[in-house]
Amino acid sequence: MFRILITDNIGHAGLTLLEAAADVQYEVVKLPGAEKLLQIIGDYDAVITRSGTPLTAPVFEAAGRLRVAGRAGVGLDNIDIDAATRHGVLVMNTPEANTLAATELTLALMLALCRNLPRANASLKKGEWTRGKFMGVQLHGKTLGVIGLGRIGSRVATRCQAFGMKVMAYDPYIAEEAAERIHVRLVSSLEELLREADLITVHTPLTDETRWMIGAKEIGLMKEGVRLITSARGGIMDEKALLDGLSAKKIAGIAMDVYGKEPPKGELIQQLLSRDEVVVTPHIGANTWEAQRDVAVQVVQQVIEALRGENFRNVVNLPFPEGVDYRSLAPYMELAEKMGSLQMQMIRGRINRVEVEFRGEDVEAHGKPLTVALLKGILSPILSEDVNYVNAPHLADQRGIHVAQTRHPAAEDYSNVILCRVVSTKETRLIGGALFLHKIPRIVLLDDYRIDALPSGPALILSNRDIPGVIGKVGTLLGEKKINIAEWQMGRNEPGGMAVSYINIDTPASEAVLQELRALSPIVDVRQVKL
Ligand code: NAD
């Protein structure tokens, strides 16, 4: 039974989902306060919050069994993500739930701006009938410049096409095909967009790169009479430069839902807000009933799926790429983890470096999560604390293990293969792994030897001189000790040279048996592993 703590108001639809889940128990403790939260958090596998409950480092320290922290909404300012990561807690939010609400508000702002709706509305309500004052511009035939063609930007783009607008976009981080698919012209420089667009709308996150992205210089490049819409985040457009642009008649109008400081305060912003050419709303992009319902449903679904290990959507501290199909990736994750564990059980000395090579389309596309799975496999046998997909890279880094990845599109013998070389203070070992029938993990390379071994259960790994009689001697000894051999895989570099055996056994061998094996004359090395 998974226990989930709800600390803020979440919509009824979310609670209904929790009630329907047979493997979940939940409790609502609204805004518990720091002290109370510290007392109770240890009893839960997951916590679902909004912005009202800070999840701080001490909370994660006290949260013994906590695995997931879900934020109903987007902002994560109240969650100490580093602390969560250190304690192996997944942090997730629900960024898609308000995509449509924010998209539609952008369209509403655009239309309101072009047709002077707020002023016309206020004027008629005052009893005036001054139609001539509210001459507007049409969207049809205009060029829209979208900065940031993500979830919201792309939806704004397709809706504006329906109005007959030509749409261009600047987004250096998306694939050209993504823009082509929605018939948007992707330009390679912001400058090109600024020079050509009649209306410009920004849909990027606020990052170091996008902070003050639209300032005096950028406005200077824009067309005379440009209209701007800002509904992403305050801080992307420089409000002083916007005011100057309006005063200089360079900018014909601005529609704003977000501000550098919220609520907006100060003389400058008041001057901007009071201008006739400026249409404003108080950060209401996500404010629809549907968005609020979807936020609750999504956060509950995501948290339950993550607890069950079925899917990890919108996890901000997990190295899975957006939209990864976890089910198809899972067998590779298992393979990588087993390879890591095998390496750790075989290697002697302190590990300095892990080099992972991905050959083949399926694995090279998921290098990051597979490397994390490999590190989890390496560290789990040696660390007492829980190692998971979230904290494995952090723990490896803490232990001074340098990790390098390389990718190659094609594999020679297997359509997809993962190679892992571990360098320690004493030796370097190489293991290769592949999937049989797309789901069964196999070890296909052990140092210089090609094999085809099943990494499951206890196994003996022998290295021996390739002379007649080895199989007989080892088989007899194991038989005498009542150790049943399940599978025996051999690899050798050349006849009469060295050979390696991977022997799956049904029950582990005792230290005494291992000693006897080591004493057999052709045997050079014996290691026992358990996967
Ligand atoms: P998203 O992550 O899906 O898309 C963001 C896009 O911006 C990505 O395609 C990314 O490649 C691009 N980008 C990043 N840096 C860039 C740069 N320097 N130049 C150009 N493009 C860049 O995000 P989203 O869900 O579409 O949200 C977009 C924005 O809208 C976010 O800032 C979000 O906080 C905001 N938002 C506001 C409201 C509101 O209430 N007004 C509601 C929801 C979202």
Do residue 30 and residue 141 come from a single domain? Answer: no
Q: Is 185 a catalytic residue?
A: no
* Residue 363 confidence class, pLDDT cut points 50, 70, 90: confident
Do residue 386 and residue 238 come from a single domain? Answer: no
Query: Are 105 and 284 spatial neighbours (Cβ–Cβ below 8 Å)?
Result: yes
Mean pLDDT (the chain, rounded): 92
Instruction: For residue 95, report the distance from its CA to the centre of ligand 1, in Å.
Output: 10
pLDDT attached to residue 206: 84
Do residue 501 and residue 516 come from a single domain? Answer: yes
Report, as an integer, the average pLDDT of 123-139: 97
Q: Is 71 a catalytic residue?
A: no
Ligand 1 atom 11: residue of nearest CA? 173
Do residue 113 and residue 207 come from a single domain? Answer: yes
Q: Is 209 in the pocket of ligand 1 (CB under 6 A)?
A: yes
Quickly list DSSP for 395-413.
HHHHTT-EEEEEEES--SS
CATH value at residue 73: 3.40.50.720
With residue 46 as reference, give the H or E element that holds it: strand 46-49
pLDDT attached to residue 96: 84
Q: Is 527 in the pocket of ligand 1 (CB under 6 A)?
A: no
Half-sphere exposure of 293 (CA within 13 A, CB side): 6
pLDDT attached to residue 186: 95
> If 0-12 CB within 10 Å is exposed, 13-18 middle and 19+ buried, where does residue 280 land?
buried
Whole-angstrom distance, CA of residue 331 vs CA of residue 312: 15
Q: Ligand 1: which of 155, 173, 194, 213 to mutate, most ligand atoms within 8 Å of CB?
A: 173
pLDDT attached to residue 395: 81
* Between residues 168 and 81, the one the model is more confident about: 168
Do residue 179 and residue 154 come from a single domain? Answer: yes
Do residue 16 and residue 124 come from a single domain? Answer: no
Do residue 427 and residue 296 come from a single domain? Answer: no
Whole-angstrom distance, CA of residue 422 vs CA of residue 340: 9
Question: pLDDT at residue 527 above 80?
Answer: yes
Question: pLDDT at residue 386 above 70?
Answer: no
Q: How many CB atoms lie within 10 A of CB 378?
A: 30
* Residue 132 confidence class, pLDDT cut points 50, 70, 90: very high
Q: Is residue 327 domain-resident?
A: no
**Ligand 1 atom closest to residue 206's alpha carbon, by position in its atom list:** 32
Report, as an integer, the average pLDDT of 441-466: 94
pLDDT, tens digit, 9 for 90 and up, residues 142-197 = 999 999 998 899 999 999 999 999 999 999 877 788 899 999 999 999 999 999 99
Question: pLDDT at residue 410 above 70?
Answer: no
pLDDT, tens digit, 9 for 90 and up, residues 211-246 = 999 999 999 999 999 999 999 999 999 999 999 999
* Residue 320 confidence class, pLDDT cut points 50, 70, 90: low
Number of domains comprising the chain: 3
pLDDT attached to residue 199: 98
The three-state secondary structure class of 25 is strand
pLDDT attached to residue 355: 95
Question: pLDDT at residue 326 above 70?
Answer: no
* Between residues 410 and 305, the one the model is more confident about: 305
Phi first, then psi, for residue 199 (nearest 5°) are -130, 140
Instruction: For residue 154, report the distance from its CA to the centre of ligand 1, in Å.
Output: 10
CATH value at residue 387: 3.30.1330.90
Q: Is residue 395 domain-resident?
A: yes
Percent of the chain beyond pLDDT 90?
A: 73
pLDDT attached to residue 384: 57
- Which ranges of 276-366 does DSSP label H, i.e. alpha helix? 289-308, 326-346, 361-364
* Residue 415 confidence class, pLDDT cut points 50, 70, 90: confident
Q: Is residue 265 domain-resident?
A: yes
Report, as an integer, the average pLDDT of 373-381: 89
Q: Is residue 324 domain-resident?
A: no
Instruction: For residue 94, report the distance from its CA to the centre of ligand 1, in Å.
Output: 14
Instruction: Report residue 154 as tokens.
Output: 């792309």
Question: pLDDT at residue 209 above 90?
Answer: no
Do residue 252 and residue 232 come from a single domain? Answer: yes
Do residue 121 and residue 231 come from a single domain? Answer: yes
Whole-angstrom distance, CA of residue 172 vs CA of residue 23: 43
Do residue 48 and residue 113 come from a single domain? Answer: no
> If 0-12 CB within 10 Å is exposed, 13-18 middle and 19+ buried, where does residue 343 land?
buried
* Between residues 77 and 125, the one the model is more confident about: 125
Do residue 181 and residue 209 come from a single domain? Answer: yes
End-to-end CA distance of the chain: 27
Residue written as token pair 């020079």: 195
Q: What is the dihedral of CA 458, 354, 446, 416, to 10 degrees?
A: 100
**Ligand 1 atom closest to residue 204's alpha carbon, by position in its atom list:** 7
* Between residues 10 and 509, the one the model is more confident about: 509
* Residue 323 confidence class, pLDDT cut points 50, 70, 90: low
Q: Which residue among the candidates 71, 283, 366, 442 is catalytic per the annotation?
A: 283
Instruction: For residue 60, report the distance from its CA to the centre of ligand 1, in Å.
Output: 29
Q: Is residue 200 domain-resident?
A: yes
The lowest-confidence range among 15-19, 118-122, 314-318, 402-406 is: 314-318
Domain that holds residue 20: 2-93+291-317
Give pTM, 2 decimals: 0.66
Do residue 233 and residue 354 come from a single domain? Answer: no
Q: Is residue 326 domain-resident?
A: no
* Residue 369 confidence class, pLDDT cut points 50, 70, 90: confident
Query: Are 345 and 527 spatial neighbours (Cβ–Cβ below 8 Å)?
Result: yes
> Residues 6 or more apart from 365 whose CB is under 8 A from it?
none
> Residues 6 or more apart from 463 whose CB is under 8 A from it?
498, 499, 500, 501, 523, 524, 525, 526
Instruction: Report residue 507 as tokens.
Output: 């029950």
Q: Is residue 325 domain-resident?
A: no
Q: Is residue 162 domain-resident?
A: yes
